[in-house]
A and B are shown apart, each in its own frame.
Chain A
Amino acid sequence: MPASHSFRSLLPVLILLVLLALVPLLSPSNRFVSLAISAGINVIALYGLSVLFGQTGILSMGHAALVGIGAYTAAILARDFNIGFWLSIPLAGIMAAIVAALIGIPSLRVSGHHFVIMTFAFGQLLAIILTNGGDYTGAASGLDVQQPVALFGLSIDVLTHYYLTVVFFVALSAIASWAIINSRYGRTLRAIRENEKLAASLGINVGRHKIGAFIVSGVFAGVSGVLLAYFLRHISPSQFSSFPSIYLALMVMIGGARLLLGPLAGGILVAFLPELLNLDPVQSRILYGVCLIAVILLLPNGLIAGIIAGWHKMFDRRAAQPSEPAVEREGK
């Protein structure tokens, strides 16, 4: 994509995030803000998944485990080393990246469906390890996080302040994801997604870059985990097992992994849809399942890409026609 186009993909996301940052002015309910924070925390992990799935074409079904690594790193750093929120962010990002490398190096030797199963297994394994970690991981009941969060002496523990912090990190993730997509590195990942054999024949080390993409997505997941730990103030293994992983994969598929608006749309929709429709947990699971099937069948590139394609179909039909004969002329 030419450079002039690239900023245009970031702009709507930033505008939307600025608007979302203004939401507290409307004095929404605490329930609404809490849901929005949860959605935002997921969106951060989703931006990492979009690099992995959308750009590189690798699906992870154990991504919540990496979020869990971030959350537990933050909780343990706070408990044992008195390290607070801000320093936990980079440290947990690094920790999740290391774990992603440890999972990725053996798993990415296999491809496609086998990798999906491997990540799923690793996710389950982590939950088992955390549950059996004794006092160190707090076993099945998990860990508390008591460290206060402050910025320049101002407490961020107030719900709306924490909300703004999350919006800030969502913006950072979107910008990071955008920068990756529009870099030489992003193009390399897309080449691997499109045709691994050809990519290798052009001198690209496919295996190394796949592991790299998994590590990058791990950093996003780790940061997301810290925000989750400090939001919930209590974390436990079940939050990072298979169901949350499947939800993350579902969100990125529903929103669409290739476009920058996709993760944002997926995260918000999945968080708010049951609330809007007033569904209980069982009903909402059924709804998610139906949504996933519908998206896979009808909008394989996700909701946002589907809406854009629909828009073009309806309004650009006339504009599209002259370009076709132009291609023909080239051939003579």
Chain B
Amino acid sequence: MAALLDIKGLRKQFGGVTALAGVDLTVNEGEILGVVGPNGSGKTTLFNSVTGVHRPTAGTVSWRGRDITGIPANAVSRAGIAYTFQQAMAFPGLSVFENVQIATEHCSNTLTNRPWTTPASLLEFVGLSGLSGEKAGILPFGRLRLLGLALALATRPSLILLDEPAAGLNDRETTTLVHLVEQFPEHGISVCVIDHDMKLMQMLCRRLAVLDFGSKIADGPTADVLNDPKVLEVYLGGAL
């Protein structure tokens, strides 16, 4: 497997606070990688530093061998990396259809072949076809997550970064989500997912990386990582 995204020594300081203390992480083509860690361990900062929300203090981010460290968010999207946010996943005042329409209109990766190119096909894939005329702001939380997923897919990415995609979802909605995300690799989309929900992570990810206080403390096959005494100590407290 070739490295798609290669993060080396990534640091992010907010004033005196070190959110990321030099993280190395590789996402390979075709995989679903999970990143776990306690609150404040730097997971979201890691995503934000890759996607142009924040500028990393030090370190490099390579995308298919090209240095993309610190490029702005819109350029990250055009390079083929999509990002779904923990909060504010959609444009609340616009209709569901208009939301996806905007995302497809700004997709510039027209060479990438994806099964969903039109707003209608995207909405059908995530199961929101019946709601296309509704305002996104009135959607229940689970639907909003799915809309956020459709927006990310509309950019025809090669990699999707999912920030706590199952937060606030009930079991049925989580199952729907897992079912969707599992299909991404076969369509040429690799996935890197952050979540607290270990059941979800076990379902989705063959490989897991663990962050603690801004450093990576484990990285490997899911089962091995979950049995790593270091991981059990800092994160799971032996709960699994």
Contact across chains for B74 and A203 when beta carbons are under 8 A apart: yes
Q: In the complex, which range does the number of interface residues on chain B fall in?
A: 35 or more
Stretch from A115-123, A192-200, A285-293 contacting the other chain: A192-200
Would A184 and B105 be within 8 Å (CB), given that A1-B95, A201-B85 are in contact? yes
A331–B170 Cα distance when bound, in Å, is 12
Please tell me which one of the listed residues B76, B93, B134 contacts residue A327 in the complex, with CB atoms under 8 A apart: B134
Contact across chains for B51 and A187 when beta carbons are under 8 A apart: no
Q: In the complex, which range does the number of interface residues on chain A fall in?
A: 20 to 34
Q: Name the CB-closest residue of B to A328.
A: B140
Contact across chains for A191 and B102 when beta carbons are under 8 A apart: yes
A297-332 CB mask vs B (1 if < 8 Å, else 0) is 000000000000000000000000000001100110
Number of A-B contacts (CB under 8 A): 84
Query: At the interface, yes or no: A210 with Cβ under 8 Å from chain B?
Result: no
Interface of A is mostly: helix
Contact across chains for A202 and B102 when beta carbons are under 8 A apart: yes
Most buried by B among A190, A194, A204, A205: A194
Specify which chain B residues have a CB less than 8 angstroms from the CB of A188 in the assembled complex: 102, 105-106
Query: At the interface, yes or no: B57 with Cβ under 8 Å from chain A?
Result: no
Specify which chain A residues have a CB less than 8 angstroms from the CB of B105 in the assembled complex: 184, 187-188
Contact across chains for A201 and B83 when beta carbons are under 8 A apart: yes
Specify which chain B residues have a CB less than 8 angstroms from the CB of A184 in the assembled complex: 105
Contact across chains for A330 and B94 when beta carbons are under 8 A apart: no
Specify which chain A residues have a CB less than 8 angstroms from the CB of B133 in the assembled complex: 2
Would A198 and B90 be within 8 Å (CB), given that A188-B105, A327-B134 are in contact? yes
Query: At the interface, yes or no: B91 with Cβ under 8 Å from chain A?
Result: yes
Residues of A whose CB lies within 8 Å of any CB of B are: 1-2, 184, 187-188, 190-191, 193-195, 197-206, 326-327, 330-331
Residues of B whose CB lies within 8 Å of any CB of A are: 51-53, 72-74, 76-78, 82-83, 85, 88-95, 97-98, 101-103, 105-108, 130-131, 133-134, 140, 143, 151-152, 154-155
